[in-house]
Amino acid sequence: MNLKRFIYLGALALSLSACESQLEIDPISDISNANYWQSSSDVEGYLTGTYSNFRSLIDRVTYGEDRGDALQPGSRGGVSRAHTQRLDNENGYDWKVIFTNLHHVNMIIKNTPAISFSDQNAKNRILAQAYTMRAHDYMLLLQMWGDAPIVLNPTETADKSTKPSRQPKEAVMAQVLSDLETALSLFPQSSIPNKYRISRPSALMLKAEALAWNYTVLKSGDKQNLTDAIACLDEVEQCGVKLVDNYADIFDVSHRLNSEIIFAIYVRFGEYDSMYALNFTESAVQGQVGSAVNKDQIPYSNGNIAAPYYAPSAKIKAAFTSADKRKPVCFIEGVNAAGKVLFTCQNKFRGTPYEKDRYY
């Protein structure tokens, strides 16, 4: 028995030492912050990853409709505490996801200038996108919280002594406008070379919003804000965008990147399947789709892809007149044989039917 036990323990010791030696092998490749920022392709790859992070930031109702009156509980229910105005210290929203994106944007702004590009316009365009994205993030912080920390460098250490403090909302607005001015000076062209990327017209739209917010909400008292906002919009109109004839075409995937679109988030089947509109789209397994006589007209999901936590509110539906051509595009009501309204479903983002289900 003792001999067997000795042999067993000896074998175990050998196996553990073997594992330890394998764990101590130097990695074949080691990508770290110190050796990553070497070439223009490094910057371009990092920017692509930052857009993915940016998508997860803005593809939600958290920072917008969730706290407004355009939505109400859907047929499944389960709305957030923000929607019911029951926020407290334990259940409030934090700004982690925003500052995560800000960190990555600041990495681009910090490291790109020292890297050589064969095309200076390509370098300037990347920096312009980063500055615009940072302005957007701070505009979002300003609209949600007012006073907010202003962090203009990436967080590369765990030194808690450098924890930033909140700055007055006027300072946050000044940072937004400063970043936008920097971005606008860097964009090499006034057109939109790629609608899946931030362009000069995108920055101008954000600047117009910021200036209007500065005057109407922050009470700047400077009417020049409004004059400059109009000038931004006038310039955008010259970049080739125009209204489409059919309102529904704006959101139709067969008219992807149409003439009304200035900037679009990239969403394709199999690559990203959690579009925010699914939160107010009916599901055949969770809602009342099966009882609707107009079932075939509703962009419902067969499974759990969609979850109707929310629905367009009575207030937002009442804001449309019967003659408004946008009304049937924005929402659709499911009705039973007696004409009773069972639910209201969003109708803009109708998705695309595939073999097993509809994807959005």
Same domain, 232 and 350: no
Same domain, 206 and 284: no
- 149 is a domain residue: yes
State which residues form the domain around 118: 38-71+94-242
- 87 is a domain residue: no
Mean pLDDT of the chain: 87
- 83 is a domain residue: no
Same domain, 147 and 215: yes
Q: Which of 195, 218, 242 delimits the end of a domain?
A: 242
CATH of the domain at 172: 1.25.40.390
Same domain, 214 and 283: no
Same domain, 285 and 220: no
Same domain, 227 and 180: yes
Question: Are the beta carbons of 286 and 307 closer than 8 angstroms?
Answer: yes
- Residue-level pLDDT, tens digit, the chain, 360 residues: 454 444 444 444 444 444 445 445 555 444 456 679 999 999 999 999 999 999 988 887 777 777 788 888 888 877 777 777 776 776 667 788 899 999 999 999 999 999 999 999 999 999 999 999 999 999 999 998 999 999 999 988 877 777 889 999 999 999 999 999 999 999 999 999 999 999 999 999 999 999 999 999 999 999 999 999 999 999 999 998 999 999 999 999 899 999 999 999 888 888 887 788 888 899 988 778 989 999 999 999 988 888 888 889 999 999 999 999 999 999 999 999 999 999 999 999 998 888 888 888
- 31 is a domain residue: no
Same domain, 222 and 299: no
Same domain, 42 and 164: yes
- 168 is a domain residue: yes
- 232 is a domain residue: yes
Same domain, 230 and 109: yes
Same domain, 160 and 309: no
Q: Which of 183, 218, 242 delimits the end of a domain?
A: 242
The model's pTM: 0.85
- 195 is a domain residue: yes
Same domain, 234 and 100: yes
- 197 is a domain residue: yes
Same domain, 296 and 185: no
Q: Which of 191, 219, 242 delimits the end of a domain?
A: 242
Structurally, how many domains does the chain consist of?
2
